[in-house]
Chains A and B, each alone.
Chain A
Amino acid sequence: MTTTTTPAAPTTAKTASTDFFEVGAEIKDAKAPAGAIEQKWSKRKFEAKLVNPSNRRKMTVIIVGTGLAGGAAAASLGEAGYNVQNFCYQDSPRRAHSIAAQGGINAAKNYRNDNDSTFRLFYDTVKGGDYRSRETNVYRLAEVSSNIIDQCVAQGVPFAREYGGLLDNRSFGGVQVQRTFYARGQTGQQLLIGAYQALERQVAAGTVTMHTRHEMLEIIIVDGRARGIITRDMVTGEIESHFADVVVLATGGYGNVFFLSTNAMGCNVTANWRAHRKGAYFGNPCYTQIHPTCIPVHGETQSKLTLMSESLRNDGRIWVPKNAADCEKDPRQIAEEDRDYYLERIYPAFGNLVPRDIASRQAKNMCDEGRGVGPAVKEFDEDGNERFVRRGVYLDFTEAIGRLGKDGVAARYGNLFDMYAQITGEDPYATPMRIYPAVHYTMGGLWVDYDLSSNVPGLYVTGEANFSDHGANRLGASALMQGLADGYFVLPNTINDYLAGSSAFEKVDESHPAAVEALESVKERIDKLLAVNGTRTVDSFHKELGNIMWEYCGMYRTEAGLIKAIGLIRKLRESFWKDVKVSGVNEDFNQTLERAGRVVDFMELGELMCVDALHRRESCGGHFRAESQTEDGEALRHDDEYAYVAAWEYTGTAQAPILHKEPLEYEFIELKQRSYK
């Protein structure tokens, strides 16, 4: 363990924040073997109990989700010979939101001969996560990263290549080596299609049964073990029970708690939240990644936000007018000396390439000062009064066009410029783009051990849905790596350890009291939603929740704000159950009912996120607590008090949850404060 010299955390002014939770027993990951970090994964694979190939087809694995983490796991476990039941809410497994990732996937291949190694990728990921991730998991992630590239190439993923026929790499996310593999701006799509094709091959082989347009609404726990799920057939409304020896949640992130995010419209927390309510701990829920280069909100009817790859910051210069009076002007009419290239001014060494969290927070600061640009959008201040604020900053390529020519810029960023023009109706070659941060990724998720098992036996969690690898901040090109690492290489080598004991499990079917209870609770919840018949739409509640979360649990968090947010969310929840209007019936293709169920769970999650953010009186990664900053306004960690994973245990709606701390021990990497000045 390394000690650090960071100042002590500010003492709690009021005891108020501790009223919102209780502290329970510490937890520890018991599955990672002791010894050298390079040996841990091999050792664990050797020690894990095995399942005889001829017995595997008798074992049923439920996997919820078909993105990189779920689709890859379903295909791999199908190949291994298990009976896999795979579920997704979309009409095809190929639609999962992994498909939208643009930038690339990291791997420690060192094809560029630039000092890269497994250890360096491990080091960069832990540092990038602001020292709030578990060393053992991250090392393994770096270790299997090379296998992922091999696997994807074998499946026919068309990565970018050089003229010699070998794979091309680029530098991404502020690291100093070129280790990112990519397929133009559509890397996620190509990787997902690779996993999807492997999955469909297993569907044809009969090892995987696919259940599309099915949404998981509850988990079935028998004798403390996850033994099945309750789903709703989204076409007919039928509520079904499905049973298995083990359940895997690969259900993605919960960024849509903010209503506006770069997530797909259907992304939701329901599967995770239902598991949480039945005992699974939720790890670090407040860790949210807010991505700096998104297209700003156009107005109140905005339904989602679109990200543009942050590679744009390599050549674009970010600025706002020095004088608020200039904000309405055509940017081309604003003289050079009247522009504030604020990132270059504040961070001369890194300039426009500062990490995501810093770039995002400074954009917010500029707009809060009244120097934002673009249309003024309606929002509410702390007292609930309406106000209009310009939420945008310029991303200017004039200098780059001068240096590289328009064609040079088009060759690098053409698809992103086209996308921007399509959405805004403006020509970014002629006038600077406008950008603003948006919620992009959630580092938090269900707590898992080294085997990716939650604290509920038989419930595994992979990909963005778990909390494990990114700490308080995720590096670019690491999400795809984690999803595929979990799905192809980790889970298929750990789940056997659990399944080896499954022959002793009790037989369960529809008649089991636990299954009956789970099914009835789902029906009851649906009936209750349909019965309210109030005056407000589901979306209006979701938007209000999103406003609360964005204002108080977004880029800038304070104790008073978070306490206020908890109160507002509780009020909103009450009003939801009195006044929501869910039209139609259950026995139909009813998209309003789908959304209503998701918003119910988002409201509960939102409260937990605020409690988590409130209890963590330090700034780290994407979590910025105003009370914990350096003299010049930068994030300040408190390793002495907060170097732990916060794993929350559910105790009831609006009841104080129980905090279980998993201490983070840094055996191989020394803790340092990040500095980009």
Chain B
Amino acid sequence: MVTYQVQDVSKDMSFLEMLDLLNEDLTLKGEEPVAFDHDCREGICGMCGVVINGTAHGRGESPVPTTTCQLHMRSFEDGATIDVEPWRAGPFPVIKDLAVDRSAFDRIIQAGGFISANTGAAPEAHAAPVGKLQADRAFDAATCIGCGACVAACPNSSAMLFTAAKITHLAMLPQGQPERYSRIKTMIATHDAEGFGGCTNIGECAEVCPKQIPFDTISQLNRDLIKSLFKKDGK
């Protein structure tokens, strides 16, 4: 644990701009800057994320959860001491300072988080209509940015919300049906093998999710998982 003092923080600065300012100062003093992941800084790439005062991504005064990059310093009292930690979860080993390795998420997707449709093999886009409600539910689940806040917030380090978001996205669409009950088995197996814990319905994940992935996607996942147990080869 290190405590740094940062001067000249304006209320309009983003949290990450405050870290930039700290790093400029550390560099000039000849000290090592603090490493942290970030990229788009508009809340969509999912690269940033630290635990701020005990909350994944930090909340400040925002009425809805945000990514760390969308948190602004006006959310903090002038002179406040802010606790910053990396995501803490066994399957997310720390690389350096605040940066962690989230490649386990990619491996869960590799295990079946896709629809097998080779380039060029697609039928006409209107061949399979999708009801608006299903399309909207698919979209809501598909907005997951893979930041890992759900895992960081979960006492079990479960990645169930992340996995359920993908399961729900693809399960709502006609194109996702052929692999629906096979993908869930392989994705859950990989989820467990990566060391993520089980879900005990605590709900912290959905509380911190910057894209507000609905908690009931996990119910969808559980329903599909049970159904899949009665299906041979996922059919």
Could you tell me which A residues sit within 8 Å of B by CB distance? 72, 75-76, 79, 90-97, 99-100, 109, 111, 147, 149-156, 158-167, 183-184, 186, 189-190, 193, 196-198, 200-201, 203-204, 210, 212, 235, 262, 264-266, 298-299, 301-304, 306-307, 418-419, 422-425, 488-489, 492, 535, 537, 539-540, 581, 583-584, 588-589, 591-592
Q: Which of A158, A583, A592 contacts B169 (CB 8 A)?
A: A158
B142 touching A158, Cβ below 8 Å: yes
Question: Given A97-B45, A156-B170, A197–B135 Cβ distance below 8 Å?
Answer: no
Could you tell me which B residues sit within 8 Å of A by CB distance? 10-14, 16-17, 20-21, 23-24, 26-28, 30-33, 35, 37-47, 62, 64, 66, 70, 72, 74, 95-96, 99, 101-103, 105-106, 109-111, 113-126, 128-132, 135-136, 138-139, 142-143, 145-146, 169-170, 172-173, 175-176
B119 touching A76, Cβ below 8 Å: yes
B44 touching A186, Cβ below 8 Å: yes
Q: How far is the CA of A560 from the CA of B139 in the complex (A)?
A: 51
Q: Which of B37, B99, B106 contacts A210 (CB 8 A)?
A: B106
Closest to A582 in B: B27
Q: Which of A97, A488, A591 contacts B33 (CB 8 A)?
A: A591
Q: How far is the CA of A196 from the CA of B32 in the complex (A)?
A: 34
Q: How far is the CA of A264 from the CA of B117 in the complex (A)?
A: 30
B20 touching A183, Cβ below 8 Å: no
CB distance from B27 to the nearest CB of A (A): 5
Q: Which of A79, A94, A198, A264 contacts B146 (CB 8 A)?
A: A94
Question: Given A537-B27, A583-B33, A100–B122 Cβ distance below 8 Å?
Answer: no
Instruction: Enumerate chain B residues within 8 angstroms of A99, measured Cβ to Cβ.
Output: 40, 44-45
Closest to A167 in B: B125
* New A-B pairs, 20, CB < 8 Å, besides A75-B119, A153-B125: A147-B120, A153-B122, A154-B121, A161-B132, A162-B132, A163-B131, A163-B132, A193-B142, A200-B110, A264-B41, A265-B41, A299-B10, A303-B14, A306-B41, A425-B11, A537-B28, A583-B32, A588-B96, A589-B95, A592-B33
Instruction: Enumerate chain A residues within 8 angstroms of B43, measured Cβ to Cβ.
Output: 419
CB distance from B193 to the nearest CB of A (A): 14
Closest to A107 in B: B125
CB distance from A409 to the nearest CB of B (A): 19
Instruction: Enumerate chain A residues within 8 angstroms of B35, measured Cβ to Cβ.
Output: 589, 591
B40 touching A97, Cβ below 8 Å: yes
Q: Which of B11, B33, B62, B172 contacts A422 (CB 8 A)?
A: B62
Question: Given A75-B119, A151-B119, A265–B39 Cβ distance below 8 Å?
Answer: yes
Q: Which of B66, B136, B143, B176 contacts A156 (CB 8 A)?
A: B176
CB distance from A238 to the nearest CB of B (A): 14
B132 touching A100, Cβ below 8 Å: no
Question: Given A153-B175, A197-B109, A301-B10, A266–B39 Cβ distance below 8 Å?
Answer: yes
Instruction: Enumerate chain A residues within 8 angstroms of B130, measured Cβ to Cβ.
Output: 161, 165
A488 touching B119, Cβ below 8 Å: yes
Closest to A591 in B: B35
Instruction: Enumerate chain A residues within 8 angstroms of B145, measured Cβ to Cβ.
Output: 189
Question: Given A156-B138, A488-B119, A301–B45 Cβ distance below 8 Å?
Answer: no
Q: Which of B23, B31, B47, B72 contacts A90 (CB 8 A)?
A: B47
Instruction: Enumerate chain A residues within 8 angstroms of B173, measured Cβ to Cβ.
Output: 156, 158
Among A150, A424, A540, max chain B CB count under 10 A is at A150
Instruction: Enumerate chain A residues within 8 angstroms of B10, measured Cβ to Cβ.
Output: 298-299, 301
